[in-house]
Structure formats: C-alpha cells, structure tokens
Amino acid sequence: MNTEDIMIDVDHVSHIYTDENGNDVRALDDVTLSIKRGEFVAIIGTNGSGKSTLAKHFNVLLQPSEGSITVCGYDTLDTDHIWDIRQHVGMVFQNPDNQIVAAVVEEDVAFGPENLGIPSEDIRKRVDDALAAVNMTDYAEHGPHLLSGGQKQRVAIAGVLAMKPDCIVLDEPTAMLDPKGRQEVLQTVHKLNKEEGITIVYITHFMEEAVTADRIVVMKNGVKLQEGTPREIFTQVDTLKSLGLDVPVAAEVAAKLQDKGMDLPKDIITNDELGTALESVFHKGGAQ
Ligand SMILES: Nc1ncnc2c1ncn2[C@@H]1O[C@H](COP(=O)(O)OP(=O)(O)O)[C@@H](O)[C@H]1O
Ligand SMILES: [Mg+2]
C-alpha cells in the first residue's frame, strides 16, 4: 500500500507502565496495526486490554516503550512533530464534562483554534462550520452545563473539528450516555467519516456500535488478538463470548436459533439481517 494512504501505522509497539509498587505493567505487547485514511475502525476488548493505552499513542499522549508509531507520516518519537500530529489527530474521551472548558458552547469550540493562533475571522467560520457539522448551531450561545450528555459530546467533537483534523480518535465516547445520546454521537461520527472523509478510530464496548465500523480490532491483554470486518469478527459468537466479549444481539440470537436447528444464513450480524432471515423462514413455513 502507498504510505500516503496510511493514517496511522503501528509497528511492533509495546508500552510498559510502572505501577505504584515500581513493577512493570506491559499494557501493549507487540502490537502491529495499520489504519488507512478515510477508514472507520472500531477497537473492542474487555477492561484493561490496552485500548486506551493504544489510543493515547495516536496523538502522542503516550510514546512506545518498544517499536514505533507513524501518524500522518510523522514518527511519534520525533518530538519536533508532536504538535503537528496533535493538530491532525483529535481525541474525544468518555466524560464530556471533563472536556468542556468554557462557559459558552461557541467559546468552547473556539478554544482549540485560538490556541493554534488562527486569525479571529477564520475562527468564527471554523466554529460555525464545526457546530453545524455536529448539528449544534442552535446551541452556540448556550451554557454547556444545560446540555444533555449526547449534546455535550457533540460539542466536544465540534471542538476537535474546529482544528480541522484528518483523524478523530474517540475513546468510549458513548459510555456515559443514554441510548438517544449514543445514537446522536454515533450518527455524527459516521457523518464526519462519510461526508468529510475524516478517519475515525472508535473505541467502544457497545457491539451494536462496533458493527457499524469498516473494520474491527479486538484487543486482549495488550495483544491485538484479531482484526477483520464486522462480519468476520461477529460471526465468531463462541470465540468472542469465551473472551468475555459481547456480540451484537442479532448475531447471538441467530446463533442460538441455528443451534436449535433453524436454517438461517451463517453471517447474520445486524437486526435488519435477522429480521429479513426470520421473515423468509416464517414465510416458507406458512406456505407449506
Ligand atoms: N498510568 C498507568 N499506570 C500503570 N498501569 C496502567 C496505567 N494506565 C493503564 N494501566 C494498566 O494498563 C493496562 C491497560 O489499560 P488500558 O489501556 O486503560 O485498558 P482499556 O482501555 O482497554 O480498559 C491495564 O492493566 C491497566 O491497569
Ligand atoms: Mg479504556
């Protein structure tokens, strides 16, 4: 593959923390992974599997203990380019309240570009465009504390967008949200991926979210255990369950019905696919 097509290249990376007792914790263990420009990659794995540690390497909040990471063509160990990388790769974290710093939504979104030294007339346009992209224009002059969790996360995403990133890394952005907020955030992120071509790295423990990605990476004990399309990953219901991971409800129900002898396609992972397959089974049954 042409190196220009690669957004993030992780080459045999290990990360070793030192815990409070002075012991080594190998949070990442020889991980190799490429993320292409324009891709939407989900990372899943149980608690402590190294997902956040990996994500923090993507905008140089952490650096590898062993191996190397190239982001937008820059080696993250090359300290001259840390700020270039951070401009290209924005991060969104779990807790929206920790990410919003200003008392008014539009001021919060302006914070990043102001720090970059962007001229004020350009900042106005960037803020307006970013709020429009996350569908929060009507709230520009509101106080963030009155917003729902989903709205706050969309403001946090707008703050990253105002930096004009090539890639956004979201670390469990919906973990603290209600179902409606989760839906809003996931839809927003997909729209940015499709319409603006922004590369998305999306960490989640909601399998219904992961199933919407182009590709899924499965982490376990700091190791990249598997990667593949949602269909390749989620049709291995027993393997994922044995790892302590969920699968989308549709995949699990389909697998159970197959165990009971129902003749269903082997690759069902979405509710729509399950619905269509069941309709066809019942339709056949009714016609007999
Ligand atoms: N600052 C730290 N110091 C020591 N150990 C850490 C630190 N941060 C994370 N860890 C350990 O590294 C491992 C991976 O953690 P993390 O990347 O947060 O996993 P995940 O995001 O998948 O839950 C865990 O064993 C965790 O306890
Ligand atoms: Mg984490």
Condensed to tens digits (0 to 9), the pLDDT of residues 14-41 reads 999 999 999 999 999 999 999 999 999 9
Q: Is 53 in the pocket of ligand 1 (CB under 6 A)?
A: yes
200 in Cβ contact with 41 (< 8 Å):
yes
Label residue 64 by pLDDT band (50, 70, 90).
very high
Q: Which atom of ligand 1 is nearest to the CA of 49?
A: 22
Instruction: Tell me: pLDDT of 2 over 90.
Output: no
The chain-wide mean pLDDT, for the chain, equals: 94
Q: Is 204 in the pocket of ligand 1 (CB under 6 A)?
A: no
Q: Which pLDDT score, from 0 to 100, does residue 176 have?
A: 92
Q: Which atom of ligand 1 is nearest to the CA of 172?
A: 21
Structure pTM?
Answer: 0.94
Q: Which pLDDT score, from 0 to 100, does residue 282 have?
A: 87
Side-by-side strand order, sheet with 40-44: 89-92, 167-171, 199-203, 40-44, 215-220, 223-228
Q: Is 244 in the pocket of ligand 1 (CB under 6 A)?
A: no
Instruction: Tell me: pLDDT of 283 over 90.
Output: no
Q: Which pLDDT score, from 0 to 100, does residue 74 have?
A: 96
Q: Which two three-digit tokens encode residue 126?
A: 């960037």
Q: How far is CA 287 from CA 14, 260, 276, 284, in A?
A: 59, 21, 16, 5
Q: Which pLDDT score, from 0 to 100, does residue 116 have?
A: 86
Q: pLDDT digits over 104-116, tens only?
A: 999 999 999 998 8
